[in-house]
Amino acid sequence: MQKLLKNVGLVFIIFILISGIFVLYSGPQEKPAEISLSTLVSEINEGQVKKITVDENKLSIELNDQKTQTSTKEKETGLTESLKNYGVDQEKLALVNIDIKNNASSSFWIGMLPFLLPFLLVAGFIWFMLRQAQKGNSQALSFGSSRARMIDPKDKKKRITFKDIAGAKESKEELTEIVEFLKHPSKFLKLGAKIPKGVLLLGPPGTGKTLIAKAVAGEANVPFFNISGSEFVEMFVGVGASRVRDLFKQAKKNAPAIVFIDEIDAVGRHRGAGLGGGHDEREQTLNQILVEMDGFDTNTNVIVIAATNRPDVLDPALLRPGRFDRRVTMDLPDIEERVAILKIHAANKPLGEGIDLHTIAERTSGFSGADLANLLNEAAILSARRGRKDISMAELTESIEKVILGPERRSRVIDEEEKRIIAYHEAGHALIGASLENADPVQKISIISRGHAGGYTLSAPAKDKRLLSKKYFIDELSVLLGGYVAEKLTFSDVTTGASNDLERATAMARNLVTRYGMSELGPRTFGHKEELVFLGKEMHEEKNYSEKTAEDIDKQVTKFIGDAYVVAEKLLVEKKATLEKIVALLIEKETMEQEEFNEIMGIKKKKPITPIKPDMDKPEPIIKPETEQVGSKKEAAPEPETETSPEPAKSI
């Protein structure tokens, strides 16, 4: 109704404008002076007349001085004859441009215009309304159509195979069977094997879930339908379900084919949870997906691949056998896989001499494939900015820090006293980290502001770790407190620069007690975390222990932190001279690489150890970002997602 009123109003405005123009041009205007034929003859003889336009008996006269006049000739007599009767000079008349108009037909249409205009406006209005209705119908018909993008297997430029994916050996082996089924389904059907209807790809963001799904389609040489879970859901009821039906209809037409639904948790969360009850649009969309997957028969060569990094919030109906039969975990790459990934992304980039990708892989523990691709891209941009023709090791190492912490902020003004505090703080972290056996080795120290960090100590494990011991956590607690203790011993005061360190140390100590069972309270956990499924985030923690136990937990947390403080203080007092050397070099050069630091500490370079690949979950990277600066406070780092994940590191 609103749209109709808008259109009617538009037509009315157009009508008013046309009417105004018509009235404007048809209204009275200033008329030229009317003269007699004798006067006209006199003007011709005097050479004043430039042009005469004859319109039946009316004469429009244009003089040489641009003035206009009108006159009337004798009826049924030609202009020349009439002027001759009044004694016109034939030679002068020959110089005048005489134009005879014959506009009887145009006069007719001009006269008819006032009568035709209303009919024309009505006809235009009807045409406009029909056009709008036709457009609305076409939009309504296409609104429920699938928004999936299809990659044609004949398009060789967009084709991706397993050769384009580094690492993920186990995942590729698991998906090879899917490829074989799409290529040779009869081989499996003869043995009575059922088709795997769905494959669920699990893993952190950037681990290559979408890429490996495209590779499956590329290996099988079948059409690939790609759509995000959020593209199903609209504000109108039934649209999502309609798009699901259309998507699977297209896939069945192009079978064998692969349907890939990215971020399926957008529509696949637990039904009946949330503010919309059990009948909202999202749940109807999910129900339709379940129905379509159940509708596949043994002869339908369509496989659904879905990806998510939140499998814990998915509806159980999606995960039962017969729907998503297989789950393939895409984990973060280990050191050898990171080297392979770096080689792939560096293939089209000019690398300079002395590039050691293995060293880069060592410093990028916990990086995903997307992070490594971004790392090389940032290095290429940095090289171009510096006017280089190739990428050197310096750009690569600097890009690691840029990806982790952000760009350098050399323009930031820091006074000398604050600079000394930051130097002692970072030196405290580094010295403790190098002195304890189970702590991660120091890769770089800097007091240059980068991103939100006033300074930072970059540490990374010498080899990939999947299990973390109590000894490791104990030593890391001392490292986290190293900056705080160094400030207190040197300046007899502390700053807010250690706030982030204290938050992380407290969280780590509490996890030792409540999650890992590494305290004197014994092998049990304390507290149960509650999560609202429709929000997908932790809301509160249920307290399943007594007040007395809560006091014991606090005592254990305090004990862990207190013991770590004693260790850090003892080491810094014993190695005061070494601390001063590190600080002096930091103030002078602002940054210190691993080789310079190890030389001051007297650490000999160890031979690289070939990593063992156990079947455990991989920990998160251990990078030690710093807070804004001394005098500012940074939010506490989020708790690790897995029990084997180490805490992020020291900060100022």
Share in percent of the chain as helix, strand, coil (round to 5): 50, 15, 40
Strands of 198-202's sheet in order across:
149-151, 224-228, 257-262, 302-308, 198-202, 326-329
**DSSP codes, 190-252:** TTTPPP--EEEEE-STTSSHHHHHHHHHHHHT--EEEEEGGGT--SSTTHHHHHHHHHHHHHH
**DSSP codes, 315-369:** -HHHHSTTTS-EEEE-PPP-HHHHHHHHHHHTTTS-B-TT--HHHHHHHTTT--H
Strands of 58-63's sheet in order across:
33-34, 68-72, 58-63, 49-55, 97-101
- What is the spatial distance between Cα 224 and Cα 179, in angstroms, rounded to a whole number? 13
Q: Give the pairing type, strands 198-202 and 302-308.
A: parallel
Paired tokens of 261: 């639904």
Residue 650, helix vs strand vs coil: coil
Nearest to 171 by CA among 215, 226, 205, 206: 215
The residues near 595 (Cβ < 8 Å, ≥ 6 apart) are none
**How many residues does the structure list for the chain?**
652
**DSSP codes, 381-419:** HHHHHTT-SSB-HHHHHHHHHHHHH--B-TTS---HHHH
Q: Are 288 and 238 in contact (CB under 8 A)?
A: no
- What is the spatial distance between Cα 642 and Cα 640, in angstroms, rounded to a whole number? 6
Count of C-beta atoms within a 10 Å radius of residue 489: 16
Q: To the nearest 10°, report the CA torsion of 123, 127, 133, 137.
A: 150
Note if 426 is an active site residue: yes
- What is the spatial distance between Cα 520 and Cα 513, in angstroms, rounded to a whole number? 8
Q: Are 482 and 431 in contact (CB under 8 A)?
A: yes
Q: Are 480 and 649 in contact (CB under 8 A)?
A: yes
Residue 37, helix vs strand vs coil: helix
Q: Are 349 and 376 in contact (CB under 8 A)?
A: yes
The residues near 325 (Cβ < 8 Å, ≥ 6 apart) are 196, 197, 198, 199
Nearest to 618 by CA among 383, 491, 485, 461: 461
Nearest to 222 by CA among 264, 170, 260: 260
Catalytic residue among 395, 398, 426, 476: 426
Q: Give the pairing type, strands 68-72 and 257-262.
A: unpaired
Residue with tokens 């600097």: 398
- What is the spatial distance between Cα 172 and Cα 184, in angstroms, rounded to a whole number? 18
- What is the spatial distance between Cα 627 and Cα 620, in angstroms, rounded to a whole number? 20
Q: What residues act catalytically?
A: 426
